[in-house]
Amino acid sequence: MAKTNLVIVESPAKAKTIGKYLGPDYKVLASMGHVRDLPKSKMGVDLEHGFQPDYQPIKGKEETIAELKDAADASQKVYLATDPDREGEAISWHLKELLDLPDAKTSRVTFNEITKKVVTESIAAPREIDQNLVDAQQARRILDRIVGYELSPLLWKKIRRGLSAGRVQSVATRLVAEREAEIRAFVPEEYWTLEASFDRIAPNLGSFKAQFWGREKKMELKSKEQVDEVLERIRNAPFAVSNIKRQDKSRAPAPPFITSSLQQEASRKLNMSPRRTMSIAQQLYEGVDIEGEGTVGLITYMRTDSLRISEEAIASASSFVAARYGQQYLPATPRRFKTKAGAQDAHEAIRPSNVELTPESIKKDLTAEQFRLYKLIWSRFLASQMASAVYDSVGIEVESAGYIFKTSRSEVKFPGFLAVYEEGKDEETNEISTPLPNLKEGEELKCAATKPDQKFTQPPTRYTEATLIRALEEKGIGRPSTYAPTISTIMAREYVVKDGKYLHTTPLGEVVTDLMKDKFHDVADYDFTASMENRLDKVESGEEYWKDVLNDFYGGFKKELAKAEEDLEGVRIKVPDEVSEEICDVCGKQMVVKSGRFGRFLACPGFPECTFTKPLVIEMPGKCPKCGSRLLKKTSRNGYTYYGCERNGDKLGRACDFMTWDVPVKDCCPECGWTMFKKSGRGFKKPFCINEACSAFVPEEKRGGYRKKKTEETAEGAAAETGAEEKTTAKKTTKKTAEKTAEKKTAAKKTTAKKAAKEEGEEKPAKKTAAKKTTAAKKTTKKAAAETPTEEKE
């Protein structure tokens, strides 16, 4: 019987898709990510003898390795088809070494997209394993191991057990910490705007508004006195149109997505975290069952920093645009985008594998998240190959007493790519959108009113996940595969927390950042971290030897570590409490934020005299419609999210029973002024008024998207439950509930760690669990855990 060929990929989903394309002559198995790595229980790198790594089979992978070994021995040819990046190349190399595969029967293949055409073409043109890529990944892995296992124990001794540090992690935390410091140090400055409303002399010919600009050059109004001076000079002076500028302005489409821009846009438009975005993108890449098509990989590889697009894809997009929208929607020449300097350019930009598979045509075959992300990728790519949008732009200047007021208006003259897609913005802007009358130069106007407005400069905006990724990318820190896991790591360590959509550091994050900046300048330095990424790129290209990079780094790092241990001898760094705005219900002290086994919570600083605790709640926009107090986001005992008045369950004579499943929004009803609400769930939901006495009131059955909760989860039940929960301490939580919650969280952490292993390239702390052991066993485990350092996962 003829031997079959073995193809080894990383995930079962990809194995299923590729197996259908290749047929019965090929057996496709999944390695389930890494099969060999540095041991968790020790450094695993010989620092004194050329940084020799001690790779070991990963525990729990014995059955997978045995299955792969048997299949490889029985196969005529073995194709290593792990992901087309550094880490994927390293996994292929580890497979070859661990399975003892001979060179003669082993080949490397990569799939930029998982379609039948690309898969069969790649199998027909195999190559050898690229040792430069492998060495670049080895250098990164060992660098992260050194930093994690040498530096983390110092943090444990001097600050708190269980902490970790790493190259990218430390710099990302520093970015957020320094933005927080800028906000605290910010001193607002007064400034004024001056808006004028103009009417044309002839009645009913139109009116418009314009903003004060200056005289010969732009002026800043810094005080009321300056505003009064301008108003006094123009009070009796005539107003006339001094200049009208009409022109067509064109706007080119954004390029197709790379990893960072996809994560940013999905955060802005879809409210997806970077990690979730990459998880859904992985599903789209590996393959989805499409009715009438079979299993199809819908997008190209999603870890890329290249804007390159294949000529075949450009031609396909152009044909689709011409057929659906017409020739006028095509640019004069196909668009090709220049990849930024320093990008690896190993893969194409992220695009649909087949542009003919429109999001709407396959919506029924996708989950809601898959559909939304695929639509985003498909639309962005198609728009990138379309004609520019053309705007009819009008700018008007009005002059009086030598002062100039300006206004402008742009209207879409030809939509071009806007027919398909428009790029999102990190911050919304208030642009004037009222139409302008058909004015003429020299035309006299009547100033109907002036509106001076005092304002103050605002501090820098806190980072969101999207803007933090952009900052890391701009500084050259990290690579496409590291952005999402880096942000997840600093949030998991509670160095950074997310408040709404914004990130800010905790006191712990600031203490760790200050220590890193003071004692480990290289690790926490932006330029050093970026230059290290460039050196790893040079290892990949064969320009540098990977052990030279490690040697250059370790020499300085070892000296910094020794100096830090000397300077901090006998020192214990205290992490200040994070003070909240909540007041203790028992003693009236201002509560502080603490961290426990179940996450962050509020505790009285008067412990042990006062043991009162309560859940950490999130303040929502708007006010309680019953009493005007704050609205808080809460979680019921059964895990449902609801929103209630801060006075729920209060027995101090000010109790309020308002609660709702609907989400409060920042907008107030224009009719009655009550806070408006919207239905929960992903995507846009139209706000509505809940005031039954208001003319804009929307009845329950017309609000849309309402999902009936279980009987025990009625509004009244949740409100009563909340009152009970908030009056008890964390110590009164039942043993059964605590055990169930602990089990769920432990299982969730294990699942997250497994899923993140491929993306991150670094390890989480090696923790020893001592549940259900004897007292002696617990002490032994505790001692072992204290001796096991940690490293970050990027």
How would DSSP label each residue in 274-329?
A: HHHHHHHHHHHHH-EEETTTEEE--BB-S--------HHHHHHHHHHHHHHT-GGG
Question: Which are the catalytic amino acids?
Answer: 301
- Label residue 705 by pLDDT band (50, 70, 90): low
Q: Please, which residues bridge with residue 392 across strands?
A: 248, 411
Whether residue 241 is predicted with pLDDT greater than 90 in this model: the reply is yes
Of the candidate ranges 199-203, 322-326, 588-592, the one whose mean pLDDT is the lowest: 199-203
More confident residue, 249 or 753: 249
What pLDDT digit, counting tens, does each position of 635-681 carry? 766 667 888 888 776 655 567 889 898 999 888 888 888 999 988 87
Residue with the larger pLDDT of the pair 209 and 683: 209
Q: Is 727 a residue whose pLDDT tops 80?
A: no
pLDDT at position 721 is 40
Pick from 638, 655, 637: which is nearest to 646 by CA? Answer: 655
**In the structure, what pLDDT confidence band is assigned to residue 188 with cuts at 50, 70 and 90?**
very high
Tell me the longest C-alpha to C-alpha distance in the chain.
103
Average pLDDT taken over every residue of the chain:
84
Mean pLDDT of 197-207: 84
- pLDDT reading at 720 higher than 80: no
> Per-residue pLDDT for 426 more than 80?
no
Instruction: Give 473's contacts (C-beta < 8 A, 6+ positions apart).
Output: 260, 483
- SS3 string, 365-428, reads HCCHHHHHHHHHHHHHHHHHCCCCEEEEEEEEEEEECCEEEEEEEEEEEECHHHHCCCCCCCCC
Taking alpha carbons only, the member of 775, 794, 770, 762 closest to residue 34 is 762
Residue 100 DSSP one-character state: T
More confident residue, 317 or 206: 317
Mapped onto helix, strand or coil, the DSSP state of residue 697 is: strand
Q: Is the pLDDT of residue 765 over 60?
A: no
Give the per-residue pLDDT at 772.
38
Distance from C-alpha of 707 to C-alpha of 713, rounded to nearest angstrom:
12
The percent of residues in the chain predicted with pLDDT above 90, rounded, is 54
Indicate whether 728 pLDDT > 70.
no
* Helical ranges in 159-223 per DSSP H: 167-185
pLDDT of residue 377: 96
Cα 575 to Cα 8: distance, rounded to the nearest angstrom? 48
Residue 723 scores a pLDDT above 50 = no
Distance CA 496, CA 455 (A): 31
Q: What is the mean pLDDT of residues 340-363?
A: 85
Look-up of token digits 């067509």: 248
In the prediction, which pLDDT does 746 show?
52
Question: Where residue 137 falls among pLDDT bands split at 50, 70, 90?
Answer: very high
Backbone angles phi, psi at 7, to 5 degrees: -120, 125
Q: What SS3 string covers 492-509?
A: HCCCEEEECCEEEECHHH
The answer to whether residue 792 scores a pLDDT higher than 70 is no
What is the distance between the alpha carbons of residues 149 and 47, in angstroms, rounded to a whole number? 12
Confidence at residue 105, expressed as pLDDT on a 0 to 100 scale? 93
What is the rounded CA–CA span in Å between residue 108 and residue 88?
Answer: 10
Please compute the mean of the pLDDT values over residues 592-617 and round it to a whole number.
82
**In this model, does residue 208 exceed pLDDT 50?**
yes
Q: Is 652 exposed, middle or buried (0-12, 13-18, 19+ CB in 10 A)?
A: exposed
Q: Tell me the pLDDT band of 712, cut-offs 50, 70 and 90.
A: very low
**Residue 760 scores a pLDDT above 80:** no
**Of the candidate ranges 90-104, 169-183, 675-689, 700-714, the one whose mean pLDDT is the lowest:** 700-714
What pLDDT is recorded for position 789? 57
For residue 700, with 0-12 CB atoms within 10 Å meaning exposed, 13-18 middle and 19 or more buried, which class applies?
A: exposed
Greater model confidence, 588 or 783? 588
pTM comes to: 0.74
The residue with tokens 């402008």 is 408
The least confident of 119-128, 359-368, 495-504 is 495-504
Asked if 649 and 661 touch (Cβ cutoff 8 Å), the reply is: no
Q: Which amino acid is at 308?
A: R
Question: Which of 196-205, 233-242, 642-651 reaches the highest mean pLDDT?
Answer: 233-242
Q: How far apart are CA 386 and CA 333, in angstroms?
A: 10
Say which residue, 59 or 734, is predicted with more confidence: 59
Q: Give the model confidence (pLDDT) of 507-543 as tens digits.
A: 999 999 999 999 998 888 898 888 998 999 999 999 9
The helix (H) or strand (E) run that includes residue 596 is strand 590-596
Tokens read off for 145: 């191991």
For residues 649 and 723, is the Cβ–Cβ distance under 8 A? Answer: yes
Residue 557 CA to residue 724 CA, distance in Å, equals: 53
* Cα distance between residue 298 and residue 288, in whole Å: 7
Task: Provide the pLDDT for residue 642.
Answer: 87
- Confidence band, pLDDT 50/70/90 cuts, at residue 780: very low
Confidence of residue 428 (pLDDT cuts 50, 70, 90): very low
689: which strand partners?
697
In DSSP notation, 414-468 reads E-GGGGT-----SS------SPPP---TT-EEEEEEEEEEEEE--PPPPPBHHHH
pLDDT for residue 779 is more than 60: no
| Beta carbons within 10 angstroms of residue 435's beta carbon | 10
Of 398-407, 523-532, 717-726, 744-753, the poorest mean pLDDT is in 717-726
List pLDDT tens digits, range 435-447: 788 889 999 999 9
pLDDT at 758: 41
Q: Which residue has the higher pLDDT, 742 or 293?
A: 293
User: Residue 212's pLDDT band (boundaries 50, 70, 90)?
Assistant: very high
Going by pLDDT thresholds of 50, 70 and 90, the confidence category of residue 717 is: very low
C-alpha to C-alpha distance for 277 and 485, rounded to whole angstroms:
11
Q: How confident is the model at residue 616, as a pLDDT?
A: 74
User: Which tokens belong to 617?
Assistant: 């709640």
Q: Running DSSP on this structure, what letter comes out for residue 661?
A: S
The per-residue pLDDT for 325 is 95
Q: How far, in Å, CA of 41 to CA of 272, rounded?
A: 35
> How far is Cα 118 from Cα 287, in angstroms, rounded to an integer?
13
Question: Containing H/E element for 695?
Answer: none
